[in-house]
């Protein structure tokens, strides 16, 4: 076996509020998130194929993440769907980019959302190895396929 891990880094801006949280993060505030996506697979051995020697073209990985993760999240405001109806109405009327979630938009749950967005779109036989999401310079969460096998 010659499985190789490939990682690409991304950044996006998003705002959120943690409903019922017992600290300052219950207020709407924003982060410059950093995301690392790691896939794993065997490099292609097909001397005339344009992707020879690659597990997955870094460019294809970038496009996948842009389409399925960054487009919905970048410059969005993530709020739980049971947030104040009056607030949600005003935000929607004013045309803000709102992502209403069934989950509390913590770093942990955003990772699970990102994993669910990405998994169906990875080409066979590439697997998702891990995801790492930094909410601040000092705080991050990780998802590993091996932890969930
Ligand atoms: N387990 C989690 N705890 C917290 C989350 C989270 O997503 N998962 N999120 C928050 C807040 O949203 C906030 O983004 C981060 O809080 P904190 O690290 O306390 O941020 P500070 O700006 O206060 O960090 P400093 O490094 O102390 O400036 C809270 N907890
Ligand atoms: Zn926060």
- Establish if 137 belongs to a structural domain: yes
- Establish if 88 belongs to a structural domain: no
Residues 136 and 145 sit within 8 Å (Cβ to Cβ): no
* Ligand 1 pocket check for 18: Cβ under 6 Å: yes
- Establish if 80 belongs to a structural domain: no
Q: How many domains does the chain fold into?
A: 1
Structure tokens at 93: 């009327």
Tell me the C-alpha distance between 78 and 130, whole Å.
23
- Establish if 96 belongs to a structural domain: no
- Establish if 86 belongs to a structural domain: no
pLDDT band with cut points at 50, 70 and 90 for residue 1: confident
Residues 30 and 135 sit within 8 Å (Cβ to Cβ): no
For residue 72, report the distance from its CA to the centre of ligand 2, in Å: 18
- Establish if 83 belongs to a structural domain: no
* Ligand 1 pocket check for 25: Cβ under 6 Å: yes
Tell me the C-alpha distance between 133 and 143, whole Å.
9
- Establish if 43 belongs to a structural domain: yes
Alpha carbons within 13 A on the beta-carbon side of 147: 7
Q: What ipTM does this complex have? A: 0.91
Range of the domain at 57: 4-75+107-148
| pLDDT tens, position by position, 40-57 | 999 999 999 999 999 999
Q: What is the CATH number of the domain that holds 34?
A: 3.30.479.10
Q: What are phi and psi of 90, to 5 degrees?
A: -60, -45
Residue 91 CB neighbours (<10 A): 18
| pLDDT tens, position by position, 54-113 | 999 999 999 999 999 999 999 999 999 999 999 999 999 999 999 999 999 999 999 999
- Report which ligand 1 atom has the smallest distance to the Cα of 139: 18
- Establish if 95 belongs to a structural domain: no
């Amino acid at each position: 076996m010659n499985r190789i891990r490939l990682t690409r880094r991304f950044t996006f801006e998003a705002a959120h509020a943690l409903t019922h949280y017992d600290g300052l993060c219950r207020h709407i505030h924003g982060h410059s998130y950093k995301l690392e996506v790691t896939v794993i697979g065997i490099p292609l051995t097909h001397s005339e194929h344009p992707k020879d020697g690659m597990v997955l073209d870094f460019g294809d990985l970038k496009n996948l993440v842009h389409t399925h993760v960054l487009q919905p999240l970048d410059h969005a405001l993530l709020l739980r769907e049971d947030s104040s109806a009056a607030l949600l109405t005003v935000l929607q009327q004013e045309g803000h980019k709102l992502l209403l979630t069934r989950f509390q938009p913590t770093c942990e749950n955003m990772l699970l959302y990102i994993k669910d967005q990405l998994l169906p779109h990875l080409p066979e036989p590439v697997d998702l190895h891990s995801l790492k999401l930094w909410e601040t310079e000092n705080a991050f969460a990780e998802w590993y396929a091996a932890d969930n096998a």
